Structures are given as C-alpha cells and as structure tokens.
Amino acid sequence: MKYIDEFRDGDLARQIGARIAAEAHPDRSYSFMEFCGGHTHAISRYGVLELLPPNVRMIHGPGCPVCVLPIGRIDLAIRLALERGAIVCTYGDTMRVPASDSLSLIKAKARGGDIRMVYSAADAMAIARANPQREVVFFAIGFETTTPPTALAIRDAAREGLANFSVLCCHVLTPSAITHILESPEVRQLGTVPIDGFIGPAHVSIVIGSAPYDHFAEEYRKPVVIAGFEPLDVMQAILMLVRQVNEGRAHVENEFTRAVTPEGNLKAQALVSEVFELRPSFEWRGLGEVPYSALKIRESFAAFDAERRFDLNYTPVADNKACECGAILRGVKKPTDCKIFGTVCTPENPVGSCMVSSEGACAAHYTYGRFRDIPIVVTTATEEATP
C-alpha cells in the first residue's frame, strides 16, 4: 500500500539505525522526547529502540489524550449520567479510564448510566436528534486533531437549534504542554529529565502546522522534528535530531512533508477559533495545572456548554498511589519502573490511564513485549492498588 509499505521497510530501517549509530557521538548521550502517543506506539510496535545505539534514549511524553485526562474530569461525565440522567457519549478509549470510587465510564454504564461509545461528535448529534426528550452530552477529549470536529458539531447544533445537545469540553493544546515541560518549576519539583530535542506530533501538526514549534527552537534552543507515525518516519526523525544536536542547531524541521505544511489547516483553525477560547488553566494528569493549555466554549455558544448547562464544578482528585502514570508522562520513569505494571495493572484491568489507550506508554510496552523480564501474576485485588 502506497505511503505505508515503503515506510515499513526493515532493511531501510536497519540502514537508518546504522547511520544513527555512526553519527551519534559515543562520548555523549542524546535524550529525545516523542510527544505523541502515536509515536510511542510505533516505537514499541516496530522495535525501534532495538535499532538505536545505547546512548540515544527515547522519552515518552504526555501526548496521549486519554492518558493526560485527570480523574476529576471523568468524574464529571459519570455524574452527568448517573445523577443527572443525561445520555453521555464519548470515544471508546475514554470509557475505560479509571475514575473515583473504583468507577469508570464503562462501569458506570453497568450501574445503569446511559453511556454510549461513539466514533465522532456527529454520532452524538444523531443520538440527540433521536432522543429529543433527553439531554445528550458529548464528552469531548483530545488534542488539536479532534478539536475541529467538535467545533463543527457545536456550530451545526447552534444552526440547527438542537437544544438537547451539549459538550463537556476537555480539549487540550500541544504547544502549551511542551512549554510547561521545559520551564515550569512545578514540573521540575515533581521531577523531569533533560531533553535534547522533540519529535513533533504528526496529526496535530497537520492541523496547526509547523510554525507553532518555532518558539521552542528559538526560546529554549531545542530542535523539533515533526514526524509521521510509520517506523521509518520515526527513525529518520531521530537521525535528523542527532544531526541538529551534533551541529549545535535548534531548528524546526519537517520530516512529514507529505502531510504537514508550515501554516497547517487554516479552515480548521478558523472554525476552532470561532467556537472555542483559551482556558486560563487546566489540570493535566502528570503535569498538574498548566496555564492556557486547554479550550473552553465561547460565550456565544454557551447554550451548548455542558459545564454551564449543568452548573458543573471541577474538583481535583489524586491519582492512585501505586500508579506511576504521572512520572511516566513526564518522562521520569519507564512503564517497567512501576511496581504494578503487568501484574495488577494490565490492559484488561487498567489501574492507570497509561494502560488504557493503545497510545499509552504502558499499554504499548505491555502489548509489544517490553515487559519480558516482569513476572506475570494473575491477581484479583491487592492493597497497593487501592487508592
């Protein structure tokens, strides 16, 4: 298949790996963060780490939208279904993220909540049309990639007068999170690692373009290479980062030229700007409160804002003490550093959000055999997995 097969060529991958090994200086280390969960998935699935020299380290970033969603936000959606009688619609991965009181959206559904998995905001609108007597809430999550479809749904609902439809907006922004990782004293106190450069996200960059990353390269002297999700995309991006570090450069380079442009999708950006505005602050799992890192619905579309309609108040909730998702999202720890990884916490029984989505670092490591040295123990409950 064109644009797939040629980017999964094992011989070419080994050649690029040999070039990286040849050009990486043996007397220094290289630490690169792949921000996007899609890259984390590709690195684990295709064994990219095995092709890299020991002094080139890949650090998982907080670019999995399900993984960074804090417990308190999921609690809001659960309350809408169980206490307010709303039909709550959301994406499949969100259904299994652990919430308070040993609940998740899928467990709340088992308790009688009308919670439905959908593939798009348009599906949620169709449910609202089919149930005019019921309140229908679309629990919207994700980065800049999934934000335009949500904006389109809100705008169309306003034009249509779909009064029983609203959105619980939890859309977050990539550039703000990268800035927070680089400069926030809170993150430094929690713990982070030195980063020599970033692999920029693919789908996000199709929407926002490559220009927003210029700030990191100029202000923080950190190179950024935007890469596609195929293994050769990732390998080539790592080689490009190694070369920038060796040459003392800090530029934004675009490996994913077949899809990403400097300006991005201007129509999508205009639509998002029409419907949404910046939140002053938003809590990220693993990063804490991050200023201007998420979106809320503008006053002109307030009728479709579930937070306003249901007078919802957000309450932060601490993560499970046994779970290391926060440290993993900051790049401080690897999934195998977590004492419950692969034992109590598995994709079938996730304790932390990083084990839920296929883009999560823990799920990727578990699925593709990165836990070979961890004994697998079948267990139903342990004290250390109790919040």
In this structure, the answer to whether residues 159 and 275 fall within a common structural domain is yes
User: What's the rounded Cα separation, in Å, for the pair 84 and 23?
Assistant: 60
Tell me whether residue 40 is in a domain: yes
In this structure, the answer to whether residues 270 and 247 fall within a common structural domain is no
Mean pLDDT of 165-183: 90
Q: What is the pLDDT of residues 135-147, one digit of tens each?
A: 999 999 999 999 9
**Residue 253's beta-bridge partner residues?**
225
Q: What is the pLDDT of residues 222-269, one digit of tens each?
A: 999 999 999 999 999 999 999 999 999 999 999 999 999 999 999 999
Q: Which two tokens stand for residue 220?
A: 């923080």
What confidence category does residue 382 fall into, taking pLDDT thresholds of 50, 70 and 90?
Answer: very low
Identify the CATH number of the domain in which residue 25 sits.
3.40.50.11750
User: What's the rounded Cα separation, in Å, for the pair 71 and 84?
Assistant: 19
Q: What is the pLDDT of residues 16-37, one digit of tens each?
A: 999 999 999 999 999 999 989 8
In this structure, the answer to whether residues 32 and 152 fall within a common structural domain is no
In this structure, the answer to whether residues 222 and 190 fall within a common structural domain is yes
Q: How many CB atoms are closer than 10 A to CB 39?
A: 28
Q: What is the pLDDT of residues 5-20, one digit of tens each?
A: 888 899 999 999 999 9
In this structure, the answer to whether residues 57 and 77 fall within a common structural domain is no
DSSP string across 307-323: HHHTT------PPPTT-
Tell me whether residue 270 is in a domain: yes
User: What's the rounded Cα separation, in Å, for the pair 22 and 179?
Assistant: 32
Range of the domain at 192: 10-65+183-254
pLDDT of residue 380 exceeding 80, the answer is no
Last residue of a domain, one of 236, 254, 272: 254
Which three-class secondary structure string do you get for 277-310? EECCEEEECCCEEEECCEEEECHHHHHHEHHHHC
Mean pLDDT of 57-66: 88
pLDDT value of position 372 = 44
Percent helix, strand, coil in the chain, to 5, is 45, 15, 40
In this structure, the answer to whether residues 97 and 164 fall within a common structural domain is yes
In this structure, the answer to whether residues 166 and 225 fall within a common structural domain is no
**Contacts of 244-248 spanning 24+ positions with Cβ under 8 A:** 244/197, 245/30, 245/196, 245/197, 246/23, 246/25
Mean pLDDT of 271-286: 95
Tell me whether residue 90 is in a domain: yes
3-class secondary structure, 120: coil
pLDDT value of position 128 = 98
Tell me whether residue 24 is in a domain: yes
User: What's the rounded Cα separation, in Å, for the pair 275 and 147?
Assistant: 10
Tell me whether residue 218 is in a domain: yes
In this structure, the answer to whether residues 209 and 241 fall within a common structural domain is yes
Tell me whether residue 378 is in a domain: no
pLDDT of residue 204 exceeding 90, the answer is yes
Q: What is the pLDDT of residues 337-379, one digit of tens each?
A: 999 999 999 998 899 889 988 889 999 989 886 444 444 333 3
pLDDT value of position 5 = 80
What confidence category does residue 381 fall into, taking pLDDT thresholds of 50, 70 and 90?
Answer: very low
Question: Nearest Cα to 263, choosing from 217, 225, 211, 202?
Answer: 211
Given a contact cutoff of 8 angstroms between Cβ atoms, the answer to whether 279 and 307 are in contact is: no
**What does pTM read for this prediction?**
0.89
In this structure, the answer to whether residues 152 and 268 fall within a common structural domain is yes
Mean pLDDT of 283-303: 93
pLDDT of residue 384 exceeding 80, the answer is no
| Total domains in the fold of the chain | 2
Q: What is the pLDDT of residues 98-124, one digit of tens each?
A: 999 989 999 999 999 999 999 999 999
**Residue 137's beta-bridge partner residues?**
88, 166
In this structure, the answer to whether residues 234 and 91 fall within a common structural domain is no
Q: Which two tokens stand for residue 321?
A: 């003490």
In this structure, the answer to whether residues 161 and 194 fall within a common structural domain is no
3-class secondary structure, 143: coil
Identify the CATH number of the domain in which residue 155 sits.
3.40.50.11740
Work out the percent of the chain whose per-residue pLDDT is above 70: 92
Q: Please report how many Cα atoms fall inside a 13 Å half-sphere around the Cα of residue 321, on the Cβ side.
A: 5
In this structure, the answer to whether residues 243 and 277 fall within a common structural domain is no
Tell me whether residue 49 is in a domain: yes
H helices of the chain, where? 10-23, 37-45, 71-82, 105-110, 121-130, 147-160, 174-183, 185-190, 203-208, 214-220, 231-247, 266-275, 306-309, 325-329, 361-367
Given a contact cutoff of 8 angstroms between Cβ atoms, the answer to whether 163 and 154 are in contact is: no
Tell me whether residue 359 is in a domain: no
